[in-house]
Amino acid sequence: MKPITVLLVDDHLVVRSGLKALLGTQPDIDVVAEAASGEDALALAEQLSPAVVVMDLAMGPGMDGIEAIKQLRRQNARQAVLVFTTYDSDADIVRAVDAGAMGYLLKDAAPEEIFAAIRGAVQGKSVMSAPVASRLFQQLRNPDEILTPREAELLSLLIEGLSNRELGRRLFISEATVKTHLAHIYAKLGVETRAAAIATAIRREGMR
């Protein structure tokens, strides 16, 4: 039985070496290379074709994890990509899965969970940490929460801190209409005040 070859991608040296040490305890998992950037990851994946790529999403300047996953898919490499990141923002999860990630793990996952995810990934099984899965599930289960294009537009201005009057001016609609849209947005987000809407919107979407 050949060991599973793994490429680690993370811009933090300590995370790479920690993960490497952790995976080193498993005889059937073999870390063959490490990359500190998306660019390096692509080159190494091409060159070594590891079975699994374990990738952080946030990677400082340059190509981010999502973009790296997309590129990997394009250069029709057949390795499975596992996202291994600190935060479970809704937008990141959706984007990563969309880009072709096989799994989504949080950095505080138990070691066994990480091993299982890697073994599962090579067999085409998709694995995600419990909190991640529940978030994704909620998104799918609750189509009510999908904002209309206009609402999304308004929300994106709302989180800039604009008042109703300013929102109306910016979108060429009356304040009354602004209030209507806001009421719908609040209902969909499950909040009651604009402050809470801003807070949850930024957190849910990873917006900045």
Partner DNA sequence: GGGCGTATCAGCCAAATGGCTGAGAGACCA
Partner DNA sequence: TGGTCTCTCAGCCATTTGGCTGATACGCCC
**Interface characters, 2-21, with a copy of itself (x: CB under 8 A):** ---------xxxxxxxxxxx
Question: What's the closest the beta carbon of residue 102 comes to DNA, in angstroms?
Answer: 19
Q: Looking at 49, 142, 156, 163, which residue binds a copy of itself (CB under 8 A)?
A: 163
**Interface characters, 99-138, with DNA (x: CB under 7 A):** ----------------------------------------
Distance CA 113, CA 63 (A): 27
Task: Give the bridge partners for 105, in sequence order.
Answer: 84
Distance CA 35, CA 9 (A): 5
Question: Candidates 23-31, 58-66, 96-104, 165-173 — which segment interacts with DNA by CB under 7 A?
Answer: 165-173
Q: What is the DSSP string of 53-114?
A: EEE-S--SSSS-HHHHHHHHHHTT---EEEEEES---HHHHHHHHHHT-SEEEETTS-HHHH
Scored b (16 or more CB within 10 A) or e, 71-107 reads bbeeeebebbbbbbbeebbbebbebbbebebbbbbbe
Decide which of DNA, a copy of itself, none touches 121; Cβ closer than 5 to 8 Å per partner kind: none
Is position 160 an interface residue for a copy of itself (rule: CB under 8 A)? Answer: yes
- At 102, list the tokens: 């096989």
Question: What's the closest the beta carbon of residue 202 comes to a copy of itself, in angstroms?
Answer: 5
Total of residues contacting a copy of itself (CB under 8 A): 36
Q: Which is nearer to a copy of itself, 15 or 63 (CB)?
A: 15
Residues 6+ apart with CB under 8 A from 203: 89
Decide which of DNA, a copy of itself, none touches 199; Cβ closer than 5 to 8 Å per partner kind: a copy of itself
Contact footprint for DNA (CB under 7 A): 146, 148-151, 163-165, 168, 171-174, 176-177, 179-183, 186, 192-195, 197
